[in-house]
Amino acid sequence: MRKRGGSASGHAADPERVPVDTESRNESSGPEPAAVASDLEPWFAGNARDLPWRRRRTGYRVLVSESMLQQTQVSRVADRFPRFVGRFPTIQDLASSPIDDVLQEWEGLGYYRRARLLHAAAGAIVERHGGRVPSDAAKLRALPGVGPYTAGAVASLAFGRREAIVDGNVGRVLIRLAGKEASIDDPKALRWCWSRSRELVEAAADPAVLNEGLMELGATICTPRSPSCGSCPVAGHCKARRLAIQDRIPVAKRRPSRRQVVHHVLVLPPKRRGTRMLATVQRRAPNGLWASMWEFPTVETDRPLQARTFSRRLGLAAGDLRRMESFSHATTHREVRFVVFEAISQRSPTFEREVSLIEVERLGELAMSVPQRRIADAWAARWATDVQPSSRWPED
């Protein structure tokens, strides 16, 4: 499911991982679908947030926004979405662009695999559907990276199809309306949510309004903690509120602890080629975290390395490096500690992966992770005006 859980976030969990299923239709399904829809739809029409992807609905814009919103804060997507569709205004523009350009525009949104899948889906749409985003949910699900949730969202929001959706927000609303003491991550509860969502969309006057209303309600009113039941348009139908268990359900799933890793980063003084200044960078491996993105030469370990050990890995002496800063960056599954060293001697290090020399002015064009971009910006600022900058480095 997605992480639109809460007012500041996009879609919770992974919305595509559980297939639609009709199991559990005989279980108690909560209030009458028509009654919920008749109260929810006019509420959304009068209370919808002004978000850039809502101002003009097309299959392409919905596909882009729904891809961005998975596991990402709404405020961050609201900032990046206009830039992305400005640079790639059509599905053809996206499909024909190099993946590096797409990753560069995705920078800051995280989960870069989504950008790769969106790029692949754009290519498939051009190849299979003549550049027109299909309105049929089954055809949408056949695209790379598109599962039941995204297919339902595009089909209903862009084309008015009666297709169900279930993300973190929708699942939470449905479970509370029915007063089900269940976790949305439980497969049986999730199948029930899909079944219930289909009943609601069939009863709706406008399936697009109903679906967005469910998502909006979960994002702004029926939030994970301290829901604003007094402002809820369907509070009169809510069993959880009647039983005073709305703060207890859905049952929270215990999250696994993040894996701790350390990235030891080496920054070198720029190399001079005439009037040009060149930065030493490298590409990451084509799979795994931040796949194929650019970075300063980096050695990854499970534990911090002593400066002398890091130096030896690079074929240098301990006095050849100076530690500049350290900071942490959290991803969904990892806590990454960055330790940045600067080369202060004339010796040439031996790198574990091939490096490239890139003009300093072009660093901003490279697709980098947020922490590597932070390092790049600090490095470029230090060398912008002087070949021998001060030793000061920005700290947390």
Rounded to 5 degrees, what angle do the CA atoms 386, 392, 395 make? 130
More confident position, 299 or 384:
299
CA distance 114 to 103: 10
The chain-wide mean pLDDT, for the chain, equals 90
Residue 1: per-residue pLDDT: 40
| 8-17, 119-128, 220-229: least confidently modelled range | 8-17
pLDDT in tens, 236-252: 999 999 999 999 999 98
Q: Highest mean pLDDT: which of 12-16, 38-42, 273-277?
A: 38-42
Percent of the chain with pLDDT over 70: 89
* Dist. CA 328–CA 67, nearest whole Å: 26
Q: Which domains does the chain have, with CATH numbers?
A: 33-242 (1.10.340.30), 259-382 (3.90.79.10)
Pairing of strands 334-343, 259-267: parallel
Q: Are the C-beta atoms of residues 41 and 206 closer than 8 Å to each other?
A: yes
Which residue, 228, 251, 252, 234, is CA-closest to 180? Answer: 251
Burial (Cβ within 10 Å: 0-12, 13-18, ≥19) of residue 170: buried
Alpha carbon 67 to its chain's center: 8
Please write the tens of the pLDDT for every residue from 59-81: 999 999 999 999 889 999 999 99
The upper half-sphere exposure of residue 116, i.e. CA atoms within 13 Å in the direction of its Cβ, equals 13
CA–CA distance, 108 with 98 (Å, rounded to integer): 18
pLDDT score recorded for residue 23: 41
Q: How far apart are CA 312 and CA 294, in angstroms?
A: 24
Pairing of strands 271-273, 356-359: unpaired
- The answer to whether the CB of 157 falls within 8 A of the CB of 211 is yes
- Residue 345 zone, left/alpha/beta (φ > 0; ψ -120 to 50; rest): beta
The pLDDT score that the predictor gives to residue 8 is 47
> Does residue 233 surpass a pLDDT of 90?
yes
pLDDT, position 21: 42
CB 4 within 8 A of CB 219: yes
Beta strands of the chain (E only): which ranges?
259-267, 271-273, 276-283, 294-295, 298-301, 321-330, 334-343, 356-359
Taking every pair of Cα atoms in the chain, the longest distance, rounded to a whole number of angstroms, is 76
Distance CA 81, CA 86 (A): 8
Q: Encoding tokens for residue 64?
A: 């882009």
Q: What is the pLDDT of residue 332?
A: 84
Mean pLDDT of 274-300: 94
Res 396 pLDDT > 80: no
pTM score, whole prediction: 0.83
- Report residue 340 as tokens: 């940045």
User: Structure tokens of 294?
Assistant: 């650019």
Kindly state the average pLDDT of the residues 15-39: 65
Which residue numbers are catalytic? 66
Region 306-321: what's the mean pLDDT?
A: 93
Report the alpha-carbon distance of residue 305 to residue 311 in Å, rounded.
9
Which residue bears the tokens 């969904």?
332
Token pair for 356: 């490239």
